[in-house]
Each structure stands twice: as structure tokens, then as C-alpha cells.
Amino acid sequence: MRYSVGHKQETRERLLQSSATQAKNNGFSTVGVDALMKAIGLSGGAFYTHFTSKDELFGSIVERELSQSLERLGGEGRQNQAKLRRCLKQYLSVAHLQQPGAGCALPALGAEIARGSVEVRQEAQDWICRLHQAWAQTLGSESLAWSILSQCVGALVVARMLVSPSIQQQVLASSHEQIIGQLEGLPED
């Protein structure tokens, strides 16, 4: 039985969504092709009608997830400092901490991206630099934009490594407080 092009695209999108969530929750390298396909109700052999390799899937996940992160973090279009502050508060929240599968791919997959192919790292760099440029324009400082971006991702990584919810909350709250302190002296938009 032949499936329509639309069906194939829908299946590919379901595979990307499911695989991205699994990767952000459990790590990409920990899950095999068969398990990724089983999660969407298909056999492992069907995988190769959508991707030539698991590495190609990972590249597609990185592109998809970082484009969504860019959109959520206000990296597209003009934004003001008030909107950026709201984004930072949400980013450094307990909800984001506890739901890696629904959040930004950088803290969840950063180490795997760093070990990925040059193509995957280039894709990540392109999206990260777009976010950085948007924040730099809003903040009026390239170095401050890099600093805040790094602090946000690092704070989530550190908080997720910890067991104690109260210490996790301290990490997030302290990071948010320090970042807001850096923004206090900036001229308003």
C-alpha cells in the first residue's frame, strides 16, 4: 500500500517530535532507532524512509528544536527589554527545569551537540548566533548577550544535575537575580 506524500510528512513530523522529546528527556544517544520508531507505533525498518541515518535525525532535531527555542526566546523580530525579562524569568523557572522535553534543547542536548558532527555543530551555531544577535540588539551589548545566554543555559544544566529541589530553586533564583541586576543599568527601549 502506497502512502500519500502528506502521510509521509506527517509521520516524519511525529517522529521528529517524539524523538526530540525523548532526546531532551533521556539523551539522544541512549535511544535506538527501533525504540524511536516504536514510540510512534512503527517498525524500525520504516525509519529509513524518513532519514538515512540516526545522525541525520539528530541534525534535524537540532534544527527544529533550536528554531523553536529562538522563536520562544524572542530571537525573531524586534523585542524590548520587558519582553526579554519575561522570557528570562520563564527560562529560569522550575517548570522549565522539570520539563526538559518541552523546553530548550541547549541545556538538554548541549553536550551531545558538542560531540556531534561538524554539520550539527554548525547548525547549532547558526541558531545560537541568531538568538545572540537579537539579544545583543535589545541589550545594546554583544558581550552582555553572550553572558546572559551562557548563564541561562548553564544555570539549567547545573540545576538539573542537583537532587534537592530547594537547591535547584536557589540556582535558578540566584541566576535570575544576577542577570536582572546586569540589566538594571541599561537604558530602556
At position 92, the amino acid (one-letter code) is: L
Q: What's the number of domains the chain is made of?
A: 1
Q: Is 121 helix (H, G, I), strand (E, B) or coil?
A: helix
Residue 69 within a domain: yes
Contact 18, 39 (CB under 8 A): yes
Rg, C-alpha atoms of the chain: 18
CA–CA distance, 150 with 153 (Å, rounded to integer): 5
CATH number of the domain at 78, please: 1.10.357.10
Q: Compute, in degrees rounded to 10, the torsion defined by CA atoms 88, 89, 93, 95.
A: -100
Residue 189 within a domain: no
Give, for all 189 residues of the chain, the pLDDT tens digit.
566 668 788 988 999 999 999 999 999 998 888 888 888 888 888 888 888 999 999 999 999 999 988 888 876 656 788 888 999 999 999 999 999 999 999 999 999 999 999 999 999 999 999 999 999 999 999 999 999 999 999 999 999 999 999 999 999 999 999 999 998 877 765
CA–CA distance, 123 with 4 (Å, rounded to integer): 30
For residue 113, give its domain range.
Answer: 5-184
Give the three cell numbers for residue 135. Answer: 539579544
CA–CA distance, 79 with 29 (Å, rounded to integer): 36
Residue 35 within a domain: yes
First to last CA, the chain: 58
Give the three cell numbers for residue 103. Answer: 523546553
